[in-house]
Structure 1
């Protein structure tokens, strides 16, 4: 079968230059004792066993390297639900080797889709052996490289501060459940974008044109709140306010000061023109404005203004 990369990195890459020049700065292989550059052909690999280095020549690795796989030999089929997502690594599209293999390709895809199973196989690529899962997805076969079991770290052994299962009251648990329910949404991956990458691209474009770029709003400072019930209550209120659950605030008897609830202790909500980007984003989230995660401050303000105008309430919507 043919193997095609299914994902693509859009990371913006920079070269290293010496300030004040256009001279590239490159990394060199340097002997740390003498400071002299070492030719590639004089480099061997060394494994540190604690007492000394065990030297291994590149040719010795080539001699024991497994041959490149020309096919996927399925060892067995497992239920997809049994494969923990933490095992998945890279994803590839699989294609039939030729037109004559099209029918068997389609039959395997249909069978896997109906059974909701994945084929487990081993695959050799670039002198490395991989454990892979073959799945049926959207009418085609995909190949997912998997981490080996001994590559999965035990979180309890790695994270000293990891808490044990918390003992929560029924009230706290119900509030947490309400928060999940209130913020439940349909998964639309196309609405999420790498906003930092977009800002880097904007910065590059602006610097090329000799323009300035608006700085990001500083992150909100921690309030060190430890009252879980109060934090959850406020979160549920904010989430509920965006879905017309206005009765919750009256029930608790505490007017919210959160801009997402269209309330600030006064009959009118704050004018978007004077709000920070963070405040605009929170208000956009409360209003359910799509694509807000990729918007600039001006775009958020315009979207909120259009939303308020369209609802016929202007920017003075009452709480």
Structure 2
């Protein structure tokens, strides 16, 4: 159970309720240690005097506000402590705003607000339901960890949440920050009615229902894959090439091909939805297969992975790796695909993650792959793979 990071009183008007603040999100970024290349020696940062090169004790460090080069106004830590807002005991709501009036750019970090005890549940529920019905957020200022926060308290999914917000002078003006931003009415910003209609049609065809579970941090997965590959003595895979910028002269042609691709992908996605519902009960089996594949893959050396399939024994079924990523089709002495039973056998995709399936979908040039769920990607790849086997058999 999570521990509160702040406790105090939430008040609106003459109504008050003791609450606790909890972190609503967590960071899964992979952590690395700094070490010297070629060794296992840790590298640590030290506070060093720039002029003398000598290390400075933490207690001897003060803060300096630079007026000009080499000229500072020195501020002692206790002087800052005296004017610090300290730890506020109250989140006092001074007004309620319509949520539709608040632009998303102002929201920063989200926290959960919970009642400090079960005896305060009625007052907590009163405010939660009132905000939910009014679709409004309570605006307050409160202090935490030596900093003052502009905060919006709102109702979400039956609980109260607190969103720290940026102050107005912290939000940058995009018109002054982005030099290449096209101006309204300029020649570079003009689009024809036909181009706009096709773009709107493409947006409608690619519309999906918001399901946050469909999206994963693929970069984090690739970092873990890189670490596992290097641990097994394998080389890192080359990154995918970034898409080329659209040529404005061929914009109509690109929009037309995008619509055709979206139509094909939509029909496959609908088929994949039915397949995904039918296979919903097999998730545990897929997880076991993935675990088994990971265990077998870790025992396989990099030298064995690089061995050509034409030098393998005839009993390839006993020697074949369970890792879907290292499986290769049978080849002849000339390097061409053969039509043996092993070559025609369908690859088992049930143990692959969504990121791994997406890589295969990219290599197979599957349209609409970015909008597919994991089960839809597997189904589409299996259909494509089945089609290849039929063509090679003929």
* TM-score of the superposed pair, with normalisation by structure 1: 0.80
Q: Secondary structure at the match of 2:42?
A: coil
| Greater Rg by CA | 2
1:3-18 residue pairs with structure 2 within 5 A? Answer: 3-18=21-36
Shift of 1:244: 4.3
> Could you tell me which residue of structure 2 aligns to residue 75 of structure 1?
94
Following TM superposition, the consecutive aligned residue runs of length 4 or more in structure 1 with deviations greater than 4 angstroms are: 312-316
Compared CA separation, residues 157 and 287, structure 1 to 2 (3 A): closer
The answer for the alignment partner of 2:155 in structure 1 is 136
Q: Deviations over 1:212-246 (max 9, x none)?
A: 2551443146266222222222222211222249x
**How far is the alpha carbon of 1:71 from its aligned partner?**
2.1
Q: Report which stretch shifted further, 283-292 or 189-198.
A: 283-292
Aligned to 2:324: none
Are 2:258 and 1:235 aligned? yes
Q: Check whether the contact 1:305–1:315 (CA below 8 A) recurs between aligned residues.
A: no
- CA contact under 8 A between 1:136 and 1:142: conserved in structure 2? yes
The equivalent of 1:306 in structure 2 is 382
Report the CA distance shift for 1:66/1:313 in structure 2 as closer, same or farther (over 3 A): same
Task: Out of 146-155 and 98-107, give the one that drifted further.
Answer: 98-107
Is the alpha carbon distance of 1:136 and 1:76 closer, same or farther for their aligned partners in structure 2, counting shifts above 3 Å?
same
Q: CA distance change for structure 1 residues 223 and 26 in 2, over 3 Å: closer, same or farther?
A: same
1:120–1:133 contact (8 Å) kept in structure 2? yes
Matched, 1:285 2:368: yes
Q: Give the whole-Å Cα distance in 1 for the aligned partners of 2:56 and 2:79.
A: 21
Structure 1 stretch displaced more, 37-46 or 284-293:
284-293
Pair 1:176 & 2:195 matched: no
Q: Partners in 1 of 2:211 and 2:243 — Cα distance?
A: 30
Q: How does 1:1-319 map to 2 (within 5 A)?
A: 1-50=19-68, 52-165=71-184, 166-208=189-231, 210-212=232-234, 215-220=237-242, 222=244, 225-227=247-249, 228-244=251-267, 277=360, 279-280=362-363, 282-283=365-366, 285=368, 289-291=372-374, 303-308=379-384
Residue 289 and residue 211 in structure 1: after superposition, are their counterparts in 2 closer, same or farther (change >3 A)? farther
**Relative to 1, partners in 2 of residues 1:90 and 1:286: Cα closer, same or farther, differing over 3 Å?**
closer
- Shift of the 97–161 alpha-carbon distance from structure 1 to 2, 3 Å rule, reads same
Change in 2 beyond 3 A, CA 1:50/1:303: farther
Query: Aligned Cα RMSD in Å?
Result: 2.9
Instruction: Label 1:4 to 1:32 Cα distance change in 2 as closer, same or farther (>3 A).
Output: same
Higher helix share: 2
Gapped regions of structure 1 (runs ≥ 5): 246-270, 294-299
**8 Å contact from structure 1 (residues 242, 287) kept in 2:** no
Unaligned runs of 5+ residues in structure 2 are: 1-18, 269-343, 348-358
Query: How many pairs were matched up?
Result: 281
